[in-house]
Amino acid sequence: MFGKLRPLIFKLDPELAHNLAIKALKYNYAPSNKIPKNNCIETEIFGKKISNPVGLAAGFDKDAEVYNSLFKLGFGFVEVGTVTPLKQYGNPKPRVFRLEEDEALINRLGFNNSGADIVSTRIKSNPPNGLFGINIGPNKDTSNRVDDYLIGLRKFYNLADYLTLNISSPNTENLRSFHNENELDELLSKIEKEKKTLKTNVPIAVKVSPDINEEDVEKISEILYQHNISTVIISNSTDKNRENLKNINKVEKGGLSGKPLEIKSNLLINKFFKILKTKIKIIGVGGVDSGKSVYEKIINGASLVQLYTGMVYQGPNIVSKISNELIEIIKNHGVKNISELVGTKKWPWLVTLERLYNHIFYVEKMWINRQNTSQGS
């Protein structure tokens, strides 16, 4: 169905098409997808079991209008926002661009949302039917960005299963300065202190940029661990890597998401996983649109994934498609659950080492068998 409608939808301005999708979901014009129930794709995060590891990333349901309709599409978890303390319009239009040949989007929305008061009232009147996260960030013109995160924590800590600190949008000026170890340490220290004041254990996730280096990964990992952060989300959109894109919209300013981000995201996930291991869970984002793309994120170290751009290109049945493909992949690997595959990617040198070990083991076994045979005769 979506395949037939897509050419018509793609003739519309991308932001208009998005707004129409929100209205369709609000009035239940979207399908309720049948997601295969299978223990092998069930997983757990924040102390709760979910039916599959595929979540919807923040950015789609910015104002928390349709999260329960999104659960009907099969998502294992849904994250809304980014929500700021005060309502803001965001950046001037046009601010969303499709790159069809690249299966990508560029956006420079700029945290457009209705503000924390309206969003919190909406959530209170319509309790979520599944694992639910709220992504929070600062207003563009705020005088104190740390205080804005604290306002978000106070407003939403008892309305969500987890809160995400968005420190990585490329569309809010200097927001990525929170990747600096001193600024990140200050932010997380105050979040930790405020949680104690509120007497809450709400899990905190931190969403990082894909445009960080090895040294940043090490420093950020250490700070996340020091402040008892539950999860790191890797990664937000990138404002780099445009050289190999085909669509003319590649020149537009903003954050690039979708397939061109996939490999970069996977490499970053693996770097974080090598340091964090199982201490802090990783949610992988960037280029997720198939069972294979989820599998790649998982073996690189992600426990769960999120998508958004993939649904723009493949439609509302994407979770059902991914779940069926994942079940086959897991079956072919001979494991009982997807969690057994987390961080199991074998790099070329490791594969060579394993083959050498197996060869030595085989030769040794043959030698022992010959020895036993000669002794028996």
List residues with catalytic annotation: 169
Compute the Cα dihedral for 297, 301, 304, 307 and give only its sign: negative
The residues pairing with 162 across neighbouring beta strands, listed in sequence order, are 133
DSSP SS3 for 139: coil
Taking a C-beta distance cutoff of 8 angstroms, is the pair 104, 133 a contact? Answer: no
177 to each of 58, 185, 300, how far by Cα in Å?
20, 12, 27
The amino acid at 28: N
Structure tokens at 236: 């937000």
**What is the DSSP track for 232-281?**
EEE---BS---TT--SGGGGS-SEEEEGGGHHHHHHHHHHHHHHHTTSSE
Taking a C-beta distance cutoff of 8 angstroms, is the pair 233, 208 a contact? Answer: yes
Pairing assessment for the beta strands 204-208 and 231-234 based on DSSP bridges: parallel
DSSP SS3 for 32: coil
Structure tokens at 231: 């999860």
Angle between helices 291-300 and 318-333 (to 10 degrees): 60
- Residues 6 or more apart from 277 whose CB is under 8 A from it? 343
Please tell me the distance from the alpha carbon of residue 328 to that of residue 341, in angstroms, as a whole number.
14
Determine phi and psi for 80, rounding to 5 degrees: -105, 170
User: Taking the CB of residue 101, how many other CB atoms lie within 10 A of it?
Assistant: 12
Compute the Cα dihedral for 81, 284, 318, 93 and give only its sign: positive
Please tell me the distance from the alpha carbon of residue 160 to that of residue 134, in angstroms, as a whole number.
6
The amino acid at 372: N
